[in-house]
């Protein structure tokens, strides 16, 4: 499909957006009754019948919310603070009240008033122009204006539309703006219109201000003030021309993009080759270092194995020599131990014999010493006994015979208990002594003790 068959999609989109914007700028109000903002009040009788003679409170239809209160001839008009109002009376050349947000008393029989919005107004402009190359161009812009002197504006402009008092004024200003844009675009080329919109803005601003505000602050203006003038879009109507106008730039940008791609590909290719060369160089260097490392490792391993084999051979020789020396030393040690064992056995036998002889001599000496000690102890006991007996005898000699006999009788059980059990009975006859005297009694006791000692000596075994 050709470019002409496709249509200018951008132009269609701009026009659709303009229509949406115009619809958004319109006041959203319900259907209004067909009545003028400038009220011509009916006769009092009719007003009374309509209102029933009572106080009425209502708002007038239109974009400005004007409230009217009171009844019949005594009414009040309440104007919002952002609306211009002019109040006139029959028979009066000048208005009674004029200004912004002025409320007043109102007599329907002889008065009338006009209320106009005082806010900034926006006019959307779609100017279908023919440029110097005889090509259609859509110029889209907007103009914002405001009432500067309502005393001049209400006399020169028509605000009588009950739905939108500003509609006729906006239409007049829009027609003048479109005419100014078309005149300016007719002297410009397509490229100038699309690239530089400032000449169009300046021309449009100058013409609208000359109409709305007058020249050199004279009273020839309309009592309005142009706030701002802007050009939003400038679109070529022909889709084929639009495509042709875009082709050089698009081709240039495509060329730049392609050259950038080529440069990027060339840089990438050079970088890849440099990277590959670096990788190959690093790989070769790595392989060379690896080969050198393997050679060093193999040489070191060979040296280690040779040294290990030499060490093992030397160790085997040393172990064999050590085994021989150990065996020789073991043999010598065994012979030496055998000789020492024989010497120890001979010495042990000699020592055993000497010890036995010493033991025998010690036993003989011990028995002799024991016998001697026993003899000495017996002798000493006998001597002590004799001394004791002598002392007792001496004591008894000093005592009477009756006391001696009483003591002797008292000691007889003890003497009998200490005597050994007789294995044989021997009778000793003591004669010739006088038992009545101490000396006779001691003589008999000495005979008895001697007999007992002899018996004991006869019963003791011979130690020799």
pLDDT (mean) for 134-148: 88
- Of 276, 130, 123, nearest to 204 by C-alpha is 123
- What's the rounded Cα separation, in Å, for the pair 97 and 85? 8
pLDDT (mean) for 295-316: 88
| Cα 404 from chain centre | 125
Q: Say which residues have a Cβ less than 8 Å from residue 444's Cβ, sequence separation at least 6.
A: 430, 433, 435
- What's the rounded Cα separation, in Å, for the pair 42 and 75? 13
Calculated CA dihedral for residues 253, 258, 262, 264, nearest 10 degrees = 60
User: Sign of the C-alpha dihedral, residues 218, 221, 225, 231?
Assistant: negative
- What's the rounded Cα separation, in Å, for the pair 287 and 170? 89
The tokens of 163 are what?
């739905």
Q: Say which residues have a Cβ less than 8 Å from residue 206's Cβ, sequence separation at least 6.
A: none
Coil/strand/helix, residue 119: coil
Q: What is the pLDDT of residue 37?
A: 36
Do residues 380 and 372 touch, judged by C-beta distance below 8 A?
Answer: no
Please report, rounded to a whole number, the percentage of residues in the chain having pLDDT higher than 70.
Answer: 76
Adjacent-strand bridge partners of 138: 128, 235
b/e per residue, 381-419, with b = 16+ CB within 10 A?
A: eeeeeeeebeeebeebeeeeeeebeeeeeeeeeeeeeee
Average pLDDT of the chain? 77
> Which of the four pLDDT bands, split at 50, 70 and 90, describes residue 335?
confident
Name the helix (H) or strand (E) containing 15: helix 9-25
- What's the rounded Cα separation, in Å, for the pair 204 and 210? 10
pTM: predicted TM-score of the whole model, two decimal places: 0.45
At 101-122, the pLDDT tens digits run 888 888 888 888 888 888 888 9
Do residues 111 and 41 touch, judged by C-beta distance below 8 A?
Answer: yes
The tokens of 280 are what?
């190959």
Residue 340 has a CB neighbour count (10 Å cut-off) of 12
Coil/strand/helix, residue 145: strand
Q: What is the pLDDT of residue 50?
A: 34
At 435-453, the pLDDT tens digits run 566 666 677 777 777 777 7
Do residues 165 and 117 touch, judged by C-beta distance below 8 A?
Answer: yes
At 255-292, the pLDDT tens digits run 899 999 999 999 999 999 999 999 999 889 989 998 99
- Of 373, 382, 377, nearest to 463 by C-alpha is 373
> Which of the four pLDDT bands, split at 50, 70 and 90, describes residue 432?
low
Position 84 pLDDT exceeds 70:
yes
> Of the ranges 162-171, 314-323, 451-460, which one carries the lowest mean pLDDT score?
451-460
For 153-171, the three-class secondary structure string (H helix, E strand, C coil) is HHHHCCCCCCCCCCHHHHH
- Of 144, 138, 107, 106, nearest to 124 by C-alpha is 144
> Of the ranges 26-35, 232-241, 367-376, 424-433, which one carries the lowest mean pLDDT score?
26-35
pLDDT (mean) for 132-137: 84
The tokens of 23 are what?
């619809």
Please report, rounded to a whole number, the percentage of residues in the chain having pLDDT higher than 90.
Answer: 5
Q: What is the pLDDT of residue 128?
A: 86
Name residue, tokens 């050089």.
248
């Amino acid at each position: 499909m050709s470019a002409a068959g496709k249509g200018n999609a951008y132009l269609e989109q701009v026009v659709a957006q303009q229509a949406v914007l115009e619809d958004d700028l319109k006041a959203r109000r319900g259907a209004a009754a067909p009545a003028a903002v400038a009220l011509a009040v009916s006769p009092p009788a009719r007003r009374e019948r309509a209102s029933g003679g009572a106080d009425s409170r209502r708002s007038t239809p239109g974009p400005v919310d004007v409230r009217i209160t009171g009844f019949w001839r005594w009414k009040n008009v309440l104007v919002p603070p952002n609306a211009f109002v002019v109040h006139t009376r029959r028979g009066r050349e000048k208005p009674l009240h004029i200004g912004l947000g002025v409320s007043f008393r109102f007599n329907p029989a002889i008065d009338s008033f006009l209320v106009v919005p005082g806010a900034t107004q926006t006019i959307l402009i779609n100017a279908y122009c023919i440029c110097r190359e005889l090509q259609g161009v859509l110029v889209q812009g907007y103009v914002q204006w405001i009432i500067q002197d309502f005393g001049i504006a209400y006399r020169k402009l028509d605000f009588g539309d009950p739905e939108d008092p500003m509609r006729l004024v906006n239409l007049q200003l829009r027609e003048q703006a479109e005419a100014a844009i078309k005149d300016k675009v007719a002297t410009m080329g397509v490229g100038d219109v699309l690239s530089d919109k400032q000449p169009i803005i300046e021309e449009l601003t100058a013409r609208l201000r000359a109409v709305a505000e007058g020249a050199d602050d004279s009273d020839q203006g309309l009592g309005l003030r142009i706030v701002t003038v802007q050009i939003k879009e400038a679109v070529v109507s022909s889709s084929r021309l639009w495509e042709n106008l875009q082709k050089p730039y698009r081709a240039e940008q495509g060329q730049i993009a392609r050259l950038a791609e080529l440069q990027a590909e060339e840089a990438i290719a050079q970088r890849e080759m440099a990277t590959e060369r670096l990788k190959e160089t690093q790989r070769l260097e790595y392989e060379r270092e690896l080969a050198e490392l393997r050679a060093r490792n193999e040489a070191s391993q060979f040296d280690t194995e040779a040294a290990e084999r030499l060490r093992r051979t030397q160790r085997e020789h040393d172990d064999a020599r050590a085994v021989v020396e150990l065996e020789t030393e073991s043999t010598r040690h065994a012979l030496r131990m055998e000789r020492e064992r024989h010497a120890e056995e001979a010495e042990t036998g000699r020592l055993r014999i000497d010890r036995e002889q010493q033991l025998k001599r010690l036993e003989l000496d011990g028995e002799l010493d024991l016998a001697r000690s026993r003899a000495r102890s017996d002798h000493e006991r006998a001597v002590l006994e004799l001394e004791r007996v002598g002392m007792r005898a001496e004591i008894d000699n000093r005592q009477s015979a009756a006391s001696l006999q009483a003591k002797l009788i008292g000691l007889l059980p003890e003497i009998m208990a200490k005597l050994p059990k007789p294995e044989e009975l021997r009778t000793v006859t003591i004669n010739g002594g006088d038992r009545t005297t101490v000396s006779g009694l001691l003589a008999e006791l000495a005979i008895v003790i001697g007999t007992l000692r002899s018996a004991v000596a006869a019963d003791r075994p011979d130690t020799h």
